[in-house]
Structure 1
Amino acid sequence: MRARLLLVMEPQEGSWTQEFEAYLLHGTLLEKEEDAECVARQATTYSLRDGELYRRHPNGVSLRCISEDQGRELLVDIHGGDCGHHSSECTLVGKVFRIGFYWPTALHDGTELV
């Protein structure tokens, strides 16, 4: 029988998600026109559910967006925890995505950790 892992991630202030949340909730964009266009274009792949930001993929899967610090902490837990497998960076990040979490620097953070 496999043990289930319950992960509770609290939203963090100053996270990369704030730009998307502000745009989706209030239509607020950044001052710099280039940054505002980028956020508006990328926001089409995000949605808000129960106050949480999710990234939607074309296959219908939605991943909960977490801060980069929370993501790195999650990678460390999976990679070197009690049941860690010390796998490659792509495998490690794939596990994070399969359990339902996303942040934009996941692959880079996985590469640095491994």
Structure 2
Amino acid sequence: MSPSIQESETVAPVDNGRSWIEPIFNYLQADILPDDRAEARKIKAKAAKFCILYGKLYKKSFTGPYLRCVTPREAYDVLKSLHHEECGNHSGARSLSNRAITAGYYWPTMRIDSQNHVKSCDKCQRFAPISHPP
């Protein structure tokens, strides 16, 4: 018998085959581009900010180390770890996304994902400070 999922617990996103990493990785590794010229130009422009090290895609950073690019499923695990588990302190959305960058991870929707993750956390919503404007 499997444990039931509580209403407040978020469910990890499902990878539907292609993630945002694949086109950039394919271009950097094997020089493979899509047939659409506009899309190919976008990928070429984006790929200038990335590199491949030890078979993983990394984003070049101006001030810090390279940031490891993660899929949506891995991003959910990173947010969950930083927010709830052993290194978590139920921080806010902006702080959570900054902690993910400091931990060395990157994905394009990290700000929105961290906002959604904090909004779905029952403890954060229950014990959040409530302002009472006059």
Report the TM-score range of the alignment, normalised by the length of the smaller protein. 0.7 to 0.9
| Identity percentage of aligned residues | 27
For 1:3-34, what per-residue CA distance to the aligned partner results, in whole angstroms no more than 9, with x for missing partners? xxxxxxxxx86321111111011111112222
Q: Show structure 1 runs of 5+ residues with no match.
A: 1-11
- Segments of 4+ moved more than 4 angstroms: none
Please state if 1:30 is matched with 2:44. Answer: no
Q: TM-score, normalised by structure 2?
A: 0.71
What does residue 90 of structure 2 align with?
86
CA radius of gyration, larger in: 2
Q: How many residues align?
A: 103
- For 2:102, the aligned partner's letter is R
Distance in 1 (CA, whole Å) between partners of 2:83 and 2:62 is 28
- The alignment yields a C-alpha RMSD, in angstroms, of 1.6
Question: For 2:70, which of 66, 71, 74 is the aligned residue?
Answer: 66
Instruction: Give matches, 1:103-114, under 5 Å.
Output: 103-114=107-118
SS at match of 1:47: strand
Question: For 1:97, which of 96, 101, 107 is the aligned residue?
Answer: 101
- For 1:87, the aligned partner's letter is S
Distance 1:82 1:57, change over 3 A: closer
Please state if 1:18 is matched with 2:22. Answer: yes
